C-alpha cells in the first residue's frame, strides 16, 4: 500500500490554468491559476505558485502570490515569502514578518465569516 500524502491534488510549476477549479481534497499550487477556486479543504500556494481570481477555501497557506478576493472559513496563513493583494474575509489571519499584504481584511467570528461568504459567493 502506498503512503498517503496530505495532498491529493497538485498543480506543478510550469503549469498554467485559466478557469474555475473545485477541489474536494487538499491541493498544492506551484503553478499559475487565473480564475475561481473553491475548496472545502486546505490549499497551499507554494513559493512559485500564483493565483489571480477569487478563492473560497476552508483554510489556506500562502508562500507565493495571490491577487483578488480570498474567503477562508478557518484561517489564512501568510508566509514570509508571500505577496497577497486581496480582500480577505477569515476568522484567523496570520502574517509572518517579510510578507507583503496589500488590500483589506475582515477578521470576524466564524458565524459572521459564513454570513459574509454567503454575500460574496453566489452559488
User: 9-11 and 32-34: which strand pairing?
Assistant: unpaired
- pTM, two decimals, is 0.91
d(CA 104, CA 71): 12
52-78, pLDDT tens digit by residue? 999 999 999 999 999 999 999 999 999
Beta-strand runs (E) in the chain? 9-11, 16-18, 21-23, 27-29, 32-34, 37-39, 42-45, 50-62, 65-78, 83-90, 93-95, 100-107
Note the pLDDT tens digit of each residue in 14-58. Answer: 999 999 999 999 999 999 999 999 999 999 999 999 999 999 999
Q: Where are the chain's structural domains?
A: 9-120
Q: What is the mean pLDDT of residues 78-83?
A: 98
Beta bridge partners of 85: 67, 102
Amino acid at each position: 500500500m502506498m503512503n498517503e500524502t496530505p495532498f491529493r491534488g497538485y498543480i506543478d510549476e510550469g503549469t498554467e490554468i485559466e478557469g474555475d477549479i473545485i477541489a474536494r481534497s487538499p491541493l498544492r499550487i506551484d503553478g499559475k491559476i487565473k480564475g475561481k477556486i473553491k475548496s472545502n479543504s486546505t490549499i497551499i500556494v507554494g513559493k512559485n505558485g500564483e493565483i489571480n481570481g477569487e478563492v473560497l477555501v476552508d483554510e489556506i497557506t500562502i508562500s507565493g502570490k495571490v491577487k483578488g478576493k480570498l474567503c477562508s472559513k478557518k484561517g489564512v496563513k501568510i508566509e514570509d515569502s508571500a505577496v497577497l493583494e486581496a480582500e480577505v474575509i477569515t476568522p484567523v489571519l496570520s502574517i509572518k514578518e517579510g510578507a507583503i499584504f496589500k488590500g483589506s481584511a475582515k477578521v470576524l467570528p466564524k458565524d459572521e465569516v459564513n454570513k459574509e461568504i454567503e454575500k460574496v459567493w453566489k452559488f
